[in-house]
Structure 1
């Protein structure tokens, strides 16, 4: 069992049941990490942002290709994602870095973050500062002060109800629907019972299982919305001449023992547990209700992960039967193996093994309890494998043409 530093041992062992050690923010939300985010609003500024993170310890950033030539709902969704990353409770403060002539102006993103959270936010423009070198120097100076200020914030006891936990699965196999996904479903129920929020996502990988979720909808409005988002996702594929229901899963899923999309979906839906579905939200939108929430995302691992983190998820549970190094610059991603063989072969990337369920060494509920304890420890400061390896993946679900 993880112990942490001496101070952390004392505090963690003295916590009441259902508590973890988090960072209380000015807006009342709780973070499990204390990052300073260098946020590039345009792909042209991403390399400069990365250079700042190399200079200043305690900062994180990400590389992307977005921020310009976007209009309409595509622009709005990207803006919501940028702002959501900065508003995530795991972020202490933000340095918003822009070029100066892009569609997504840095100051508009900075204003949104500052207005809604009260966090320290600074804006820097490459064009206004005379180029990359002077911008990196100024950004590093601002970020260094912000990191020092962030280091004075101490962890304090926080309740499970403060958490938003994202769930996803990637690279499934024949064990996914029998071990890791049901175990995460058990965790989802335990979180909901503790008044926390659990996010279910991957709309493409719920096709064929939508009726099961609609039956658990909190009301008719939510049930109707379930079928609407499934239909919309299918229609996007049909417009490209592809019937997603008749298509097979990815080559990795096929090699892992899955044969149809419905088979994949039925296994993926197990992550939702058994509690009522409270609401269905858009990509990168923050939940407005406690309990089980469905976020409309694609099945692409990185795009889905980014959407949930932008929606406020402080921790993410990621089940996999094939293995993946996927992580986030903002939220710790707990990687859960569905089978022992892969867990042992990809020990560099896996945090937990639920292959024990398949082997009859552990029940689903017992494995779920182990995952819940891991969430508590990670939320209190334990590093995940993806964090240790600095696996800072980021990608936005684009829903419109580039102009």
Structure 2
């Protein structure tokens, strides 16, 4: 039996464990985004969830947004939420606030049209957010099992070194986390095209294999329905400049992030995993939209490989950057956390770098900041199913 590793986290009343204590400032529409931004900027410990929809969208998109924003408000890294509403948007801000309030953290709803404008809303929001932050100061970190972690796996700005070094090392990291009973989520459906057979062969059950094949078919059908040549757009110009020649080559590198363990489940966009082990989430290949879904699903941390250098982060979850490109690590050193190019230079093995990622992840879970956090990266971009009208 594996030795049970621990990190220092914040146990929550609902049984989950947080790795950060943040107050989420959540606008329920784009017209409330400015006020929400002002509140977050004036409160240390507040995190802006920069949603800009809420009107002029299909019913399916409003429902998805309500669901995912509520999951952000109930996320283990969040100790309180302010929902900022204009007052006349399509998205039901009261319903959103009530969904968040059903979780363990306090929730407040501020309506700009009711309070009398932007300034009054910002002043009230700053007061409430500061109160929540102050109350959280009493919370203490405690030893928590690695099995209480959910980790999102992402890659972006890939080049040839991603498949040679960073992604294989992340695969070792993934296997180490699974051995501890953690939940790992591999994503980016469109970037799996050409390597889906590898995951299908690793499916834990026939039903999981069937669902994996189905989400790939559905993805290809949606892409073909646009009338555009997706296969001609992948790999991207940046991928090609970095030495990736075909979409299949990109996919074969991408799938390495998931390590070697069975795929235990297939998740819809933003769906929280219920089983320990490696799951696959049906997300776009677009990095901000994919990471947004991974965090909505409860990922306390996202580990992100990038060859050419993608500095993005997330509003409420630390994002760890791993690069296999020595030039990127040197040239963008303030944006990177882990140098995996030592695999290519022969200084370390894949297993050694995977172990380093694992150890760094536990330090981040215990409070050490990532490069993206220090630089203030807080990207948020939700998947949209239909047109804006």
Calculate the TM-score normalised by the size of structure 1. 0.94
What is the CA-CA distance between 1:75 and the residue it aligns to?
2.1
Structure 2 unaligned spans of 5+: none
**Corresponding residue for residue 331 of structure 2:** 345
Q: Distance in 1 between matches of 2:216 and 2:11?
A: 37
**Corresponding residue for residue 88 of structure 1:** 75
Q: Deviations over 1:139-174 (max 9, x none)?
A: 111111111111111111100000001111001111
Q: 1:324 aligns with which of 307, 310, 315?
A: 310
**Corresponding residue for residue 33 of structure 1:** 20
Q: What does 1:190-205 align with in structure 2 at a 5 Å threshold?
A: 190-205=176-191
Structure 1 unaligned spans of 5+: 1-15
1:75 corresponds to 2:62: yes
1:60 corresponds to 2:47: yes
Q: Distance in 1 between matches of 2:34 and 2:222?
A: 33
**Corresponding residue for residue 167 of structure 2:** 181
Q: Distance in 2 between matches of 1:266 and 1:28?
A: 37
Task: Between 203-212 and 71-80, report the one with greater CA deviation.
Answer: 71-80
1:159 corresponds to 2:145: yes
**Corresponding residue for residue 90 of structure 2:** 103
**Corresponding residue for residue 229 of structure 1:** 215
**Corresponding residue for residue 384 of structure 1:** 370
1:334 corresponds to 2:320: yes
Q: 2:153, 2:186 within 8 Å by CA — same for their partners in 1? A: yes
**Corresponding residue for residue 308 of structure 1:** 294
**Corresponding residue for residue 5 of structure 1:** none
Q: What does 1:106-117 align with in structure 2 at a 5 Å threshold?
A: 106-115=93-102, 117=103
Q: 1:185, 1:272 within 8 Å by CA — same for their partners in 2? A: yes
What is the CA-CA distance between 1:71 and the residue it aligns to?
2.6
**Corresponding residue for residue 31 of structure 2:** 44
Q: 1:329, 1:390 within 8 Å by CA — same for their partners in 2? A: no
What is the CA-CA distance between 1:105 and the residue it aligns to?
2.0
Q: Distance in 2 between matches of 1:68 and 1:390?
A: 28
Calculate the TM-score normalised by the size of structure 2. 0.97
Q: Distance in 2 between matches of 1:54 and 1:265?
A: 39
**Corresponding residue for residue 239 of structure 1:** 225
